[in-house]
Amino acid sequence: MPLGLVHEAARWACAPLTPPVPAPSPALCSGQVFTARSGVLSSPEYPQPYPKLSNCTYSIRLEEGFSVSLDFVESFDVESHPETQCPYDSLEIQTDKEKYGPFCGRTLPPRIETKSSTVTVTFVTDQSGEHTGWRIRYSSTAQPCPDPVAPPNGHISPVQAKYILKDRFFVFCETGYELLQGDLPLKSFTTVCQKDGSWDQPMPECSNVFC
């Protein structure tokens, strides 16, 4: 190796490392997590054509006790094949108990009531085709708790048509009355609806402070 090249090699060896050029990323659609009781998910860029060669995952993760339902809305267009089931692009839905799909084509799939609190949606696309994709509106419900009835001289807040998992209410007494649970006076009272559809505390009384 001529001396000039040795110098060149040494200089190269001492040069600071250049940061690696990031690989072109496929559609940014992997590992999306949804924790709200309701929401909307869709294929990337919906209703524009979805990107090619993507592998998207969407996780709906609610607390145990909720049941997630999925409604396909607006339009549905995923590349299909007349004879083979979704060989190009496909949408699949998975819970801990069941698998739904694969879905493709141009017909809105029916509503799915998963009876599960965690749902994973996977969308895989191949290298060709122009299709607009899908949109899912999800909602959730849980076993309702019995409608609370305020004790005499007491009030409940907030008043709701239905109370489900994690919903709570408190009870306050009119002036001249105090909260009492059994023989115990309480400063305040709150109860939470549990996943089995029961309240975690029995209803208190409002007792006359002068008695």
Please give the residue ranges that form the binding site for Ca ion (CB under 5 A): 79, 88-89, 125-126, 129
Instruction: Collapse the DSSP code of 124 into the 3-class scheme (helix H, G, I; strand E, B; otherwise coil) and give the result.
Output: strand
Beta pairing partners, 155: 172
**Minimum CB–partner distance for residue 124 and Ca ion (Å):** 9
**Minimum CB–partner distance for residue 115 and Ca ion (Å):** 32
Q: Decide whether 37 or 131 has the Cβ nearer to Ca ion.
A: 131
**Minimum CB–partner distance for residue 101 and Ca ion (Å):** 16
Three-class secondary structure assignment of 25-84: CCCCCCCEEECCCCEEEECCCCCCCCCCCCEEEEEEECCECEEEEEEECCCCEECCCCCC
Yes or no: say if 112 and 122 are a contact pair by the CB < 8 Å rule.
Answer: no
> In whole angstroms, what is the distance from residue 11 CA to residue 21 CA?
22
Could you tell me the CA-to-CA distances from 96 to 99, 118, 143 in Å, in that order? 8, 7, 19
Residue nearest to Ca ion (CB): 129
Q: Decide whether 123 or 169 has the Cβ nearer to Ca ion.
A: 123
**Minimum CB–partner distance for residue 52 and Ca ion (Å):** 6
Residue 138 tokens, joined: 């999800």
Q: Decide whether 19 or 82 has the Cβ nearer to Ca ion.
A: 82
**Minimum CB–partner distance for residue 45 and Ca ion (Å):** 14
The radius of gyration of the chain from alpha carbons, rounded to an integer in Å, stands at 29
- Sign of the torsion formed by the C-alpha atoms of 11, 17, 19 and 20: positive
Q: Decide whether 64 or 126 has the Cβ nearer to Ca ion.
A: 126
Q: Decide whether 77 or 79 has the Cβ nearer to Ca ion.
A: 79
**Minimum CB–partner distance for residue 99 and Ca ion (Å):** 21
> In whole angstroms, what is the distance from residue 117 CA to residue 189 CA?
29
DSSP 64: B
Q: Decide whether 75 or 160 has the Cβ nearer to Ca ion.
A: 75
Count CA atoms closer than 13 A to 68's CA, side-chain side. Answer: 29
